[in-house]
Structure 1
Amino acid sequence: MSTLKSLGLILFLAAFVATKQGLAQTLTQTIRGRVIDKESQEPLIGASVAITNLNPVKGATTDADGNFKIEHVPVGRHTLKINYIGYEDQLISELLLGSGKELVLHIGLLEAINQIKEVVITSSGSQEKGVAQNEMATLSARSISVEETKRYAASVNDPARAAQNYAGVGSTDDARNEIVVRGNSPKGILWRVEGIEVPNPTHFAEEGASGGAISILSVNMLDNSDFYTGAFPAQYGNALSGIFDIRLRRGNNEKREYALQAGLLGLDFAAEGPFKKGYRGSYLVNYRYSTLAILNKIGVNIAGDATPKFQDLSWKINLPTTKAGVFSVWGLSGYSEQNLEAVRDATKWKESWQHNDEKFNSSMLATGISHTYSFKNNAYLESVISLSGSQNTYRRDSLSSTFTPNLKYQQQFEHTALRTSLLYNQKFNARHTLRTGFIHSTIGFNLFSEGVDNEDHQLKRYVDNDGRTGLYQAYAQWKYRIAPTLTLNTGLHAIRLGLNGSTSVEPRLGLKWNFSPTQSLGAAVGIHSRHETLSVYYAQKALANGQLVYPNKNLNFTKARHYVLSYDHLVRQDLRLKVETYYQRLDHVPVYADPEIPEATLNAEAGFTTDSLVNKGKGRNYGLEFTLEKFFTNNYYFLLTNSLYNSKYTALDGIERNTRFNGNYIVNFLAGKEYKVGRQDVNLFSANIKVSTAGGNRYTPIHLERSKIEGKAIYNEAERYSLQANPYFRTDIRISYRKNKPKASYILSLDIQNVTNRLNMYNRYYDNNTQSIKTATMTGLIPILNYRVEF
């Protein structure tokens, strides 16, 4: 802790020295961007953009490409109003303008069916606060803004951790960003970047997992993105519980800008700018390296022998052309490793895990070329070709009393994918929009896993296979604005896995009725499916004659039927009440073929198992979600979410049980206040808090006496997940200070996760060394200091 304090003092002094000089003049910056038709992506020429909170009002009109620029705007928070004849007006409130970076906006307007009242917008993006960027989404979807990802306490610039604040979303472990959506396994999450599926973009990710310890996605790269918790639009497939649809922003195409960031989670450098004057193309790149690894190299060893090491690189190059549309080259990559060596003193080994040497590393890469071509008839074609891959290796050796290593388990999983996506969007008029497309994936794999069997203590091969297969998806979706207050979204998604021919045709439907200017009702239904991790399909068994068989190779998709009802009330322009209720029915759930083990894949955080599975299980999730959100206005905000839910599954024995993730309730409260400080009120101090409580994880009781006899944990299978950990409780705080100078902005922030140092229970386990049942806990207090410079 003393090292962290010293580091914090150094960073604070650096910020103080860099910002010591007083302000000699009014600080200004530029607001610019582009205004387009939200559904056809066509530029709107002559749209009016005005900053309404200035006196006199400053503004501009869009040019032939829909671009606008307002220069010499005082730094601080501003409200923009956008008008265009025949379109619904927008009001974008509380935009933060700093001195270090221009504010570049991408604004979509909705064409009016007939003359209606102004639509009030209060987000930092182009749409109503929290409403998904995808205009085909109806319910159970919201946008995650970059500013929210930065602002929320303990989100630490991670969109997955920011999503944990929303209704219906929980977590399994404080140390990881994997999320539980409406009681479903984290395995049901789909990650998309730039419109196409990518591997799990997280450092220290396990095989088949959807999250990990630290996000590879840098906040320097992110644009406002969408997060879905159910009833997905027809263009999305291969997801059961949730979808992150991440967009990378374009770099500034008029001015070179940079950002430096130093904190506990890494040292970042970002650069962006134009290629040359007069060309609208731009580049954006970000690199990060583990701070703890750097400190370890210079002899400051905070994390002990198991120092986590990681680095990541992200980029986006935007290349518009005069006639051939817009091309972009993008990518993200990351590498992480952590090695744990046992103490070379056998007298200090008190628990069984303490005499193990463990080595772990993971990596991922996703890169692609995207192209958007606009036709003259209010249509556009979006195509993406991407190449991605992920790798995960792990080895565990048990040391003898003479420190001789004995292999207990090792694995190496490699996955690659070449994907092609085509999306065609046609806006016929203000009422009708059609979207259709297909996605083709060629998936390669090289899988290896072996370990010592607990029964005969012989080394056994679990997986040893390589090859490739195909995943094919097609969809069509129609948006019909029946009236200014009534919108229908309907469509069809089809998916087929070439490995075993599994096929699913999935209808989707959503209806939203704005029965008053401030209230709406909505309903959505849909069928969704997801294939298992390829390592599950290739789990192998050896017959008595030595022949290898693959009992899981013909597993079908797990399917979920989603039903959602919603009520939304804009109590006032900056206060929203939202209530959603849902029911999910899951079929074809893989469960253990042995009826004596009533287990299902619905209870897994990661995706690899060596057991034989059959698609004869089922499950159901149902609940009620409540959200009261005061948007950021008048320098403060708050968010209160409450989720009441049940999550059940049924295995081969026909008995319905709680899933591992059935906590029954989640309550989150977030709030924050911002203060203007300094001579001209151009600097900002903010304080944020988050308080969370939830039902504890479910776990299975252990037979202590039988475990002592067997020398390993023996579970009471008949009572699987019958016990529940104590209620989860955690408090996080975040404070930050922004100093604006003529050439740069300086931001110093401190997040303290779990400020009360409460050790929430994770699970129970049997330790054979002590022949006792012990409790594993989640992480305690973690301070995360960060210093950032934008210039």
Structure 2
Amino acid sequence: MYRVYLFVIGICICCPLIGAKEPLHLLADPTPTVTLDMKRVPLQDILLEIEKQTGLFFSYESSMLKEFRHVSLTARDESLSYCLKRLFEPLPLVYRITGRYVILKRKPRQYTISGFVRDSASYESLIAATVVERSSGKGSVSNNYGFYSITLSPGKVVLSSSYVGYEPCSVTFELTRDTMIDLSLSPAGVLGEVVIKGISPRSDVLNSRVGVSDVPASRVKSLPALLGETDVVKTLQRLPGVTGGTEGMSGLFVRGGDGDDNLFLLDGNPVYHTDHVLGFFSAFNPDAVKNATFYKGSFPAEYGGRLSSVIDVRTNEGNRKEYHGNISIGLLAARANLEGPIIKDRSSFNVSVRRTWMELITWPLMTAVNKKADTEVKGGYHFYDMNAKVDYSFTDRSRAYLSFYMGSDSYRNGEDSKDIHGEDRDFRWRWGNLIGSAGWNYLINRKLFATFTGGYTRYRSHIIQKQNAFVSSPDKNGQVYFQEGHYRSAMEDVNLRASFDYRPNVDHRIRMGSDYLFHLFRPEQSNMSSWYKDSVVSQMNNTIFSHSLIHGHEVSLYAEDEMLLTDRLRVNAGLRFTLFHVQGETYQSFQPRFSTRYLLGRNLSAKVSYTKMNQYIHLLSNSYISQPTDIWVPVTGNIRPMHAHQVTSGLFWHYKELDFSVEGYYKRMNNLVEYKDNGPVLPSFTGWEDRVGVGKGRSYGLELMVQKKTGRFNGWIGYTLSWSDRWFPDGTVNKGRRFPSKYDNRHKVDIVASYKLSKKVELTAAWMYKSGNHLTIQDVQYRPLPELTERDYREELWWGYGQNASSRNNYQLPAYHRLDLGVNFCRYKKNGRMGIWNLSLCNAYFKANPFSVRPVYYQTEKGREVVLEQTLLFLFVPSVSYTYKF
């Protein structure tokens, strides 16, 4: 029934499109009709025939028609206006009807203005900046490398550009030829305006896409910080249709999808593990992030490989004019950033590093606690990451860059016995990403922009367990016994891509390209070694399991065409074709993409989109949090690729300083993978195909949002009403019955606000409410055979009881809500230096939000009773950080 309601809403949104009429040319008498069939004849002959049938006269210079000797027109009782439009539309001629005369003139020659939109201070390119010619109202948006192109008629041109957090700029000149102009925008200030979208106030109304958000770095840093760290993924969690999963984590679950349904890109390279500290921080350093574009509805044809969303993160290129940097110190981590020119105005670099010092706090505490114990405790946790980028312009048309990322987490837990006959243990766990890429942009001509990139991505996890103990022997001498185990998992990618951006005119844009991905999977490898110290017996090695490398090849071709068909109707149509080959199996898919926008008024539009997405890799995980032991595996002959169909419709309205949007969506997913009933606790690659079921999923909902993007007070309010469930018809999961997905949160409300109290003080607040997540708990118990004796009860021997779950995701956590507050104090110093204090309080009113629930069993006089025990992650978290900029 809810789907019927959403469908009716979608029809209501789209119904204004029905019966809409296109403006006609001004006619003195629109009633004449024309019937003719003339092919490849001189244009003058066609005009003479039309004159005979209509009584009108064509006025033109005789020399103007000499070049049009092979023109065709077929019509049968068609209106004169229709025939004239068909006749002259493909020709470089325009017509105007005055009385009984049709006056013909040549179309004025048009010229192309192109260039790059840049930061005036650093000379960095600006992504998604708006460029508009004021008198005609025609405009363009800069691409991922800051390039824009507009084709206009000759004459006086007033070109203006705007971008989030920058002062608008205008350039006035006479357009007499093709012209290249780079537009430079000046930053508005440290605590400048904060908005979500980086384009013009009416951009949501005018563009054809639905479900797209641009999140610049200024937006990320303006929210209250958790443990002193801001995060781009946690910013996305505040948008409608997106949930963060478990308390405090940086996971992303979009429109009923799973955690592995999201494609994270860092400068065009996939990132397979996006978390630090088991999800408290993401792998994206806020100092390195320049802009993030988030797609959840209409996906461009250039993206593929995931079902639910695409997060395209672009990093800073560096200042080409001056050296700048900053140092930031928080409760658990410190960051540093340095940027500057290598060759002034031509080449630049940017380096950002971040590291925690958690082990510097935890290790001394553990040592103090165990000071009098028989063992010395060793352990701790830390992570670090580093981003580096070098940018070089060979000419105004040619530019290249190198990008590098390395991130690593390390955990250690061990004990050293103070007794020579004691036992020593050491457990170490390391995991991380390594990403490198190179790209070259070339402006082939003023309308065609080409990009060629190549990259390498690696993720790996390594666990080391060591143990040694004194083993006594009958002769009282004894030996020291050593044991060492290793567990490894890894994944590597090599990618190549070529893309082209062609803009024939201001109302037409074509994008096309191809990409190739080489996947290398090493799901699991484990071995164990053991030996005696100073023993003549050779070392014993035992390989528990070692899976051979799995190679996958993924080739994609795509094309996309966006055009303004009428003054009101804009259409974007694209197609992506993909081949995926692995272990002798080859899968192919055609993935159509379509979106359209119709203007209902100057500031009101309706949009509809349809997308199909395919996914060829799965993440094996049975946990509610992101763990380094989660394993990526490819499709097989038995497990086919996942695919999803999504239909979205929406209304977008801009009123004064406010933007309103209403979006309804319906998504159907196929070939989803889930562990069968009574599946493993930990993911494992061994025989994984036999332990999973293949089923279907669906999600649908309604998203509302109102936002204020400018002024001293800005922010947004978002509401989501959604449903999401799963169904495994083969009965392997939940006995074939439908069940809610883990993150089937019926209601979700987000309120985000920022108020610039003064030039030096900014206040921020964010409140969230959502229905609880779903868990599977063992709520059914049964007595063993034979019955327990009275002694068993007396000695609390209860393990003979069996437990089982009545259904999948059978328990829903209580509703989750919390309020985060923050304040930024900015102190300006000499020579452009400044210091910024950030104070934040997470969960300001101490709401006890459970992290997880587990059943606890008690024996009472009435028998065995079960109590659900909730685990809390934190009640409130105050944090403070200081940033020094120079």
Aligned-pair distance for 1:328? 0.6
Secondary structure of 1:148 counterpart: helix
Counterparts in 2 of 1:601-750, with a 5 A limit?
A: 610=688, 612=690, 616-633=694-711, 635-651=712-728, 652-653=730-731, 654-676=736-758, 683-703=759-779, 705-706=781-782, 716-743=804-831, 744-750=833-839
Aligned-pair distance for 1:566? 0.6
Q: Does 1:566 align with 2:650?
A: yes
Q: Name the CA distance, whole Å, in 2 between partners of 1:703 and 1:201.
A: 34
Matching residue within 575, 579, 592 for 1:492: 575
Counterparts in 2 of 1:170-209, with a 5 A limit?
A: 170-204=243-277
- Which position in structure 1 is the counterpart of 2:884? 789
Matching residue within 579, 583, 590 for 2:662: 579
Specify whether residues 43 and 231 from structure 1 end up closer, same or farther in structure 2 by C-alpha distance, changes over 3 A only. Answer: closer
Per-residue displacement from partner, 1:100-154 (whole Å, max 9, x unpaired)?
xxxxxxxxxxxxxxxxxxxxxx77844448859xx98611111112111011224
| Maintained 8 Å contact 2:721/2:746 | yes
Aligned-pair distance for 1:414? 1.0
- Which position in structure 1 is the counterpart of 2:85? none
- Which position in structure 1 is the counterpart of 2:36? none
Q: Does 1:275 align with 2:342?
A: yes
| Maintained 8 Å contact 1:470/1:497 | yes
Specify whether residues 484 and 705 from structure 1 end up closer, same or farther in structure 2 by C-alpha distance, changes over 3 A only. Answer: same
Per-residue displacement from partner, 1:20-41 (whole Å, max 9, x unpaired)?
xxxxxxxxx9697778653683
Q: Does 1:221 align with 2:221?
A: no
| Maintained 8 Å contact 1:700/1:715 | no
Q: Does 1:254 align with 2:321?
A: yes
- Which position in structure 2 is the counterpart of 1:91? none
| Maintained 8 Å contact 2:555/2:580 | yes
- Which position in structure 2 is the counterpart of 1:351? none
- Which position in structure 2 is the counterpart of 1:160? 233
**Greater Rg, structure 1 or structure 2?**
2
Secondary structure of 1:308 counterpart: strand
Q: Name the CA distance, whole Å, in 1 between partners of 2:403 and 2:773.
A: 39
| Maintained 8 Å contact 2:359/2:379 | no
Secondary structure of 1:619 counterpart: strand
Aligned-pair distance for 1:65? 5.3
Q: Name the CA distance, whole Å, in 2 between partners of 1:282 and 1:365.
A: 22
Percent identity over the alignment is 16
Q: Name the CA distance, whole Å, in 1 between partners of 2:778 and 2:417.
A: 31
Per-residue displacement from partner, 1:535-572 (whole Å, max 9, x unpaired)?
79xxxxxxxxxxxxx99554211111101011111122
Which amino acid in structure 2 is aligned with residue 531 of structure 1?
Answer: Y
Secondary structure of 1:433 counterpart: strand
Q: Does 1:147 align with 2:227?
A: no
- Which position in structure 2 is the counterpart of 1:66? 181
Counterparts in 2 of 1:77-476, with a 5 A limit?
A: 95=193, 125-128=198-201, 138-154=209-225, 156-204=229-277, 212-277=279-344, 279-295=345-361, 307-322=380-395, 325-340=398-413, 359-394=428-463, 411-448=487-524, 464-476=547-559
Specify whether residues 131 and 142 from structure 1 end up closer, same or farther in structure 2 by C-alpha distance, changes over 3 A only. Answer: farther
Secondary structure of 2:358 counterpart: helix
- Which position in structure 2 is the counterpart of 1:520? 605
- Which position in structure 2 is the counterpart of 1:756? 845
Specify whether residues 75 and 658 from structure 1 end up closer, same or farther in structure 2 by C-alpha distance, changes over 3 A only. Answer: closer
Uncovered stretches (5+) of structure 1, i.e. residues with no partner: 1-28, 78-93, 97-121, 206-211, 346-354, 453-458, 537-549, 677-682
Per-residue displacement from partner, 1:336-367 (whole Å, max 9, x unpaired)?
1123458999xxxxxxxxx9986432110111
| Maintained 8 Å contact 2:224/2:230 | no
| Maintained 8 Å contact 2:124/2:317 | no
Specify whether residues 224 and 630 from structure 1 end up closer, same or farther in structure 2 by C-alpha distance, changes over 3 A only. Answer: same
Q: Name the CA distance, whole Å, in 1 between partners of 2:684 and 2:326.
A: 35
Secondary structure of 1:239 counterpart: coil
Q: Name the CA distance, whole Å, in 2 between partners of 1:615 and 1:148.
A: 41
Q: Name the CA distance, whole Å, in 2 between partners of 1:204 and 1:38.
A: 38
Aligned-pair distance for 1:723? 1.7
Per-residue displacement from partner, 1:305-332 (whole Å, max 9, x unpaired)?
7643011110111111127611011121
Q: Name the CA distance, whole Å, in 1 between partners of 2:368 and 2:447.
A: 57
Which amino acid in structure 1 is aligned with residue 409 of structure 2?
Answer: S
Q: Name the CA distance, whole Å, in 2 between partners of 1:197 and 1:57.
A: 34
Q: Name the CA distance, whole Å, in 2 between partners of 1:657 and 1:630.
A: 38
Aligned-pair distance for 1:775? 2.9
Aligned-pair distance for 1:669? 1.2
Which amino acid in structure 2 is aligned with residue 783 of structure 1?
Answer: P
Which amino acid in structure 2 is aligned with residue 697 of structure 1?
Answer: N
Specify whether residues 660 and 535 from structure 1 end up closer, same or farther in structure 2 by C-alpha distance, changes over 3 A only. Answer: closer
Q: Name the CA distance, whole Å, in 2 between partners of 1:449 and 1:368.
A: 28
Specify whether residues 181 and 605 from structure 1 end up closer, same or farther in structure 2 by C-alpha distance, changes over 3 A only. Answer: farther
Q: Name the CA distance, whole Å, in 1 between partners of 2:291 and 2:449.
A: 21
Aligned residue pairs, count: 667
| Maintained 8 Å contact 2:517/2:554 | yes
Q: Name the CA distance, whole Å, in 2 between partners of 1:314 and 1:704.
A: 50
Which amino acid in structure 1 is aligned with residue 849 of structure 2?
Answer: N
Q: Name the CA distance, whole Å, in 2 between partners of 1:130 and 1:759.
A: 40
| Maintained 8 Å contact 1:204/1:337 | no
Which amino acid in structure 2 is aligned with residue 688 of structure 1?
Answer: T
- Which position in structure 2 is the counterpart of 1:23? none
Aligned-pair distance for 1:736? 1.0
Q: Name the CA distance, whole Å, in 2 between partners of 1:232 and 1:341.
A: 48
| Maintained 8 Å contact 2:196/2:219 | no
Specify whether residues 650 and 59 from structure 1 end up closer, same or farther in structure 2 by C-alpha distance, changes over 3 A only. Answer: closer
Which amino acid in structure 1 is aligned with residue 549 of structure 2?
Answer: D
Q: Name the CA distance, whole Å, in 1 between partners of 2:683 and 2:202.
A: 32
Greater relative contact order (Cα 8 A, min sep 6): structure 1 or 2?
Answer: 1
Deviates further, 764-773 or 748-757:
764-773
Aligned-pair distance for 1:703? 4.4
| Maintained 8 Å contact 1:445/1:467 | yes
| Maintained 8 Å contact 2:149/2:446 | no
| Maintained 8 Å contact 2:494/2:519 | yes
Deviates further, 710-719 or 467-476:
710-719
Q: Name the CA distance, whole Å, in 2 between partners of 1:424 and 1:136.
A: 20
Per-residue displacement from partner, 1:260-301 (whole Å, max 9, x unpaired)?
111124211111111133x42111111112132455688899
Specify whether residues 362 and 759 from structure 1 end up closer, same or farther in structure 2 by C-alpha distance, changes over 3 A only. Answer: farther
Aligned-pair distance for 1:450? 6.1
Q: Compute the RMSD of aligned alpha carbons.
A: 4.4
Secondary structure of 2:565 counterpart: strand
Secondary structure of 1:612 counterpart: helix
Q: Name the CA distance, whole Å, in 1 between partners of 2:591 and 2:800.
A: 44
- After TM superposition, the score normalised by the length of structure 2 is 0.67
Q: Name the CA distance, whole Å, in 1 between partners of 2:189 and 2:236.
A: 29
Q: Name the CA distance, whole Å, in 2 between partners of 1:712 and 1:149.
A: 53
| Maintained 8 Å contact 1:332/1:367 | yes
- After TM superposition, the score normalised by the length of structure 1 is 0.75
Which amino acid in structure 1 is aligned with residue 719 of structure 2?
Answer: N
Which amino acid in structure 1 is aligned with residue 645 of structure 2?
Answer: R
Specify whether residues 468 and 311 from structure 1 end up closer, same or farther in structure 2 by C-alpha distance, changes over 3 A only. Answer: same
